[in-house]
Chains A and B, each alone.
Chain A
Amino acid sequence: MADTITKVVVPAAVGPAELAAGHAYVDDMELEGDENLQVGMRVEIKDEAGEFFAATVTGYRDHRWQLTLKP
């Protein structure tokens, strides 16, 4: 029986500033509500152009999650 690993996909804006900073941010209201994000979790960002970036959840404050982009 094959294991299936499904990564959580979160929407976030990723532009030149985010790439330079190494971080993107997503508010709770931008999520579907069933992602159950936690610090340390590996996720995939789907940016506004529909492209995917690997990231890790690295912080949370005031309803906003910090996502650290994989280099």
Chain B
Amino acid sequence: MPDLSVVWRDWGHRLTSGDDLLQFEVVDRNQVMLRSAAVSGLYRLIQDERDHPPDWQVLPLSCFAVTGPWTPSRLAEGTRFRAYRRVHVSTLWAAKFEVWPTATFTDATADPRNEVHYDLIVAAGENLIPVDELRSTAKPVRQAARERLRPLFEKVWALLGDEQPLDRPHEGSTMNPER
């Protein structure tokens, strides 16, 4: 079965302290945390190249550099996002967050925004992700595991700017039972 993949990106945009990063506004922040935990294993090869110990895990957060050609509206093409938040890279660096240039793929299909794609590393360390608990069939166990992750993400969310609407026509939904 094809799958998702991530590689270190040594081409495309390089961050400087004057750059801004954009993160799309996700409706459910639980989904942000769980997605991050779910894709963590995809970063093992990158971690090996960066000499992370074998038992270290990372929690990545996908984001994009805003540049002249890559405006927020262009970055949102092919998505249904309605809003985003921005943060100065210098703010993240001052708070000791690492930002990795990466390229992501679905099956073998590259994300067309890869040249400005980055992963903000929310946290890295040993036994960071309670994998078994997050996959437990008991909802209270899952919820407790999720809450263990939340403080790590709240440190990042506190640094993001105000929510800004995307200036583009809404493309509509293919299926929404509420309509």
Instruction: Sort chain B's interface into a size bin.
Output: 35 or more
Q: Which residues of A contact B34 (CB under 8 A)?
A: 11, 27, 29-30
**Is the C-beta of B139 less than 8 angstroms from some C-beta in chain A?**
yes
CA distance A60 to B6 in the complex (A): 19
Q: Which residues of B contact A15 (CB under 8 A)?
A: 78-79, 111
Q: Please tell me if the beta carbons of A30 and B38 are within 8 angstroms of each other in the complex.
A: yes
Please report B residues at the A interface, Cβ cutoff 8 Å: 1-4, 24, 26-28, 31-32, 34-35, 37-39, 77-82, 104-113, 131, 134-139, 142, 173-177
User: Which secondary structure characterizes the binding site on chain A?
Assistant: mixed
Q: Please tell me if the beta carbons of A29 and B37 are within 8 angstroms of each other in the complex.
A: yes
Min C-beta distance of B104 to chain A, whole Å: 7
Q: Please tell me if the beta carbons of A48 and B175 are within 8 angstroms of each other in the complex.
A: no
Q: Please tell me if the beta carbons of A17 and B28 are within 8 angstroms of each other in the complex.
A: no
CA distance A7 to B178 in the complex (A): 13
Q: Which residues of B contact A27 (CB under 8 A)?
A: 34, 38-39
Q: Please tell me if the beta carbons of B4 and A54 are within 8 angstroms of each other in the complex.
A: no
Q: Which residues of B contact A51 (CB under 8 A)?
A: 80, 173-174, 176
Cβ-Cβ contact count across A and B, 8 Å cutoff: 110
CA distance A3 to B79 in the complex (A): 34
A-B residue pairs, 4 tightest by C-beta: A16-B78, A27-B38, A29-B134, A50-B27
CA distance A17 to B106 in the complex (A): 6
Min C-beta distance of A31 to chain B, whole Å: 9
Please report A residues at the B interface, Cβ cutoff 8 Å: 7, 11, 13-21, 23-30, 32-34, 44, 47-54, 59-61, 63-64, 66, 70
22 contacts between A and B (CB under 8 A): A7-B177, A11-B31, A13-B35, A14-B80, A19-B78, A20-B106, A20-B109, A21-B106, A21-B107, A24-B106, A26-B38, A29-B37, A29-B135, A33-B136, A33-B139, A44-B175, A48-B27, A48-B28, A53-B174, A64-B38, A66-B1, A66-B2
CA distance A34 to B139 in the complex (A): 9
Min C-beta distance of B98 to chain A, whole Å: 22
CA distance A59 to B96 in the complex (A): 39
